[in-house]
Amino acid sequence: MSTFHQDFSDADYHARLTRTRAEMARRGLDMLVICDPSNMHWLTGYDGWSFYVYQAVVLGMEGEPVWWGRGMDAAGAARTVFMSGADAICGYDDSYVQNPEKHPMRLLGDLVQQMGGGAGRIGVELDNYYYSAKAHQVLSEALPGAALHDATGLVNWQRAVKSETEMLYIRRAAKIVTRMHECILTFAQPGMAKNLLVAEIYRCGIEGADGQWGDYPAIVPMAPSGMDATAPHLTWDDRALIPGEATFFEIAGAHRRYHCPQSRTLFFGEPPALYRRAENAVLEATQAGLAMARPGNFCEDIANAFNAKLNALGFEKDSRCGYSIGLSYPPDWGERTMSFRRGDRTVLEPGMVFHFMPALWLEDGGLEMTETIAITETDAECLCDTPGGIFVK
């Protein structure tokens, strides 16, 4: 049905459906209602900035999935989904958009009924940014004969091992984020307003690299300086960059919705001794973690090796040091599945991709030097060519 572009072949999509349905069968589910736009995209190809209203992909055990959403977005679905059936797109009337008197989930319940799920076991993504408590309440009321079960993460886990084409897109994103860091080094100067530097970061990211265009990232640039950099998730303002102050940049290249995050820290002038010791500790601990990043090991093996070396060098990190990444939409570029932390015994497999995030937030600033890594047949590959260590200018 798509007349615009299709990032993957029909065979790719059918393989994804087969994999997802196998997990549905294992859980005893008759149907899935998917509201996460990343999962909607992965299953059907749908791509649009429409996730601020209710939308979903409904997947039964047979036939094509059905895209359901706002009527005006049906045209975008027709231009992006792989499905060819006449009933593969279902749009609802605009009077249901953000109207407290008419909730669109009642219409989704009607669609599930029409698809034969009125008395079935229906999987829904209960713990998801895009599926509200009200949505669940209304959908439950609209399907009194069905049993709604939590299927949070069911599709996310099917996305864990990347295909060759997915890896191609992530590698393109890696080239883009490498160029974004080059842009920072080129344009950043003492006295420069932070928002003007972020504007250059965005320009480089959207222009892309090596002839490949840049998509919008799922997270905006994190670029705190000085004491602001003692916190991990602050963005930017118009204050000037100043000498003697660290600024870390947590950014991502994106291509066709696939992400490659990477962070680096910039310092004007010679960094204090504490920062140099922290830099050395993070770099050595990162190498210790990477040594454990190979097929057959557990996610926690990387975290344990990283933390053991970091602690031996006099530093501590009490948060996870990595997570699975790939295809994503705002507000997060993570896949919300695996993490590098103690207790996560997910087995590493070739084709998995992670943001190895060994960041430290110190008493007077922050230090981020991160890498996106891919698990290969033998070990791990860092996907970016950005030099390591603190950027000194």
Judge residue 125's burial from the number of C-beta atoms within 10 Å of its C-beta, 0-12 exposed, 13-18 middle, 19 or more buried: buried
Does residue 199 sit within a domain?
yes
Both 117 and 188 in one domain: the answer is no
3-state secondary structure 146-168: CEEEECCCHHHHHCCCCCHHHHH
Decide: 173 and 253 in contact? Cβ < 8 Å: yes
pLDDT, position 2: 44
Does residue 355 sit within a domain?
yes
Does residue 325 sit within a domain?
yes
Both 205 and 238 in one domain: the answer is yes
Both 136 and 170 in one domain: the answer is no
Find, among 221, 216, 250, 217, the residue nearest to 236 by Cα. 221
Judge residue 211's burial from the number of C-beta atoms within 10 Å of its C-beta, 0-12 exposed, 13-18 middle, 19 or more buried: exposed
Both 277 and 306 in one domain: the answer is yes
Does residue 3 sit within a domain?
no
Decide: 348 and 298 in contact? Cβ < 8 Å: yes
* pLDDT tens-digit profile, the chain (393 residues): 444 557 899 999 999 999 999 999 999 999 999 999 999 999 999 999 999 999 999 999 999 999 999 999 999 999 999 999 889 999 999 999 999 999 999 999 999 999 999 999 999 999 999 999 999 999 999 999 999 999 999 999 999 999 999 999 999 999 999 999 999 999 999 999 999 999 999 999 999 999 999 999 999 999 999 999 998 899 999 999 999 999 999 999 999 999 999 999 999 999 999 999 999 999 999 999 999 999 999 999 999 999 999 999 999 998 999 999 999 999 999 999 999 999 999 999 999 999 999 999 888 889 999 999 999 999 999 999 999 999 999
Q: Where are the beta strands (DSSP E) in 273-352?
A: 322-325, 334-339
Q: How far apart are CA 223 and CA 250, in angstroms?
A: 7
Question: Coil, helix or strand for 33?
Answer: strand
Task: Tell me which residue has tokens 């294992």.
Answer: 26
Both 51 and 84 in one domain: the answer is yes
Picking from 103, 126, 158, the residue at the C-terminal end of a domain is: 158
Cα distances (angstroms) measured from residue 208 to each of 99, 168, 178, 235, 310: 39, 14, 10, 22, 35
Q: Where are the beta strands (DSSP E) in 139-245?
A: 147-150
Decide: 33 and 112 in contact? Cβ < 8 Å: yes
Both 101 and 47 in one domain: the answer is yes
pLDDT, position 5: 57
Q: How far apart are CA 14 and CA 340, in angstroms?
A: 31
Both 200 and 143 in one domain: the answer is no
Both 97 and 212 in one domain: the answer is no
Q: Which domain holds residue 217?
A: 164-392
Find, among 307, 214, 313, 202, the residue nearest to 259 by Cα. 214
> What amino acid occupies position 14?
H
Q: How far apart are CA 283 and CA 7, in angstroms?
A: 36
Give the strand pairing for 353-356 and 360-361. unpaired
pLDDT, position 221: 97
Picking from 114, 143, 158, the residue at the C-terminal end of a domain is: 158
Both 152 and 178 in one domain: the answer is no
Does residue 118 sit within a domain?
yes
Query: Residues 344-369, buried b or exposed e (16+ Cβ, 10 A)?
Result: bebebeebbbbbbbbbbbeeebbbbb
Cα distances (angstroms) measured from residue 118 to each of 58, 65, 133, 384: 13, 17, 20, 49
Picking from 105, 136, 158, the residue at the C-terminal end of a domain is: 158
Run of H or E residues at 229: none
Task: Tell me which residue has tokens 């005893």.
Answer: 28
Query: What's the predicted TM-score (pTM) here?
Result: 0.96
Measured CA angle at 284 (ends 317, 387), to 5 deg: 105
DSSP string, 359-387: -EE-SS-EE---EEEEE-SSSEEE-----
Give the strand pairing for 121-124 and 147-150. parallel
The domain spanning residue 80 has which CATH number? 3.40.350.10
Both 113 and 221 in one domain: the answer is no
Both 264 and 148 in one domain: the answer is no
Does residue 220 sit within a domain?
yes
Does residue 4 sit within a domain?
no
DSSP string, 248-274: EEEEEEEETTEEEEEEEEEESSPPPHH
Which residues are CB-neighbours of 234 under 8 A, at least 6 positions away? 222, 224, 228
Q: How far apart are CA 263 and CA 308, in angstroms?
A: 22
**Helix (H) and strand (E) counts in the chain:** 10, 16
The domain spanning residue 201 has which CATH number? 3.90.230.10
Does residue 124 sit within a domain?
yes
- Helix axis angle, 164-187 relative to 194-207, nearest 10°? 150
pLDDT, position 1: 45
* Residue 283 CA neighbour count, 13 Å, CB half: 12
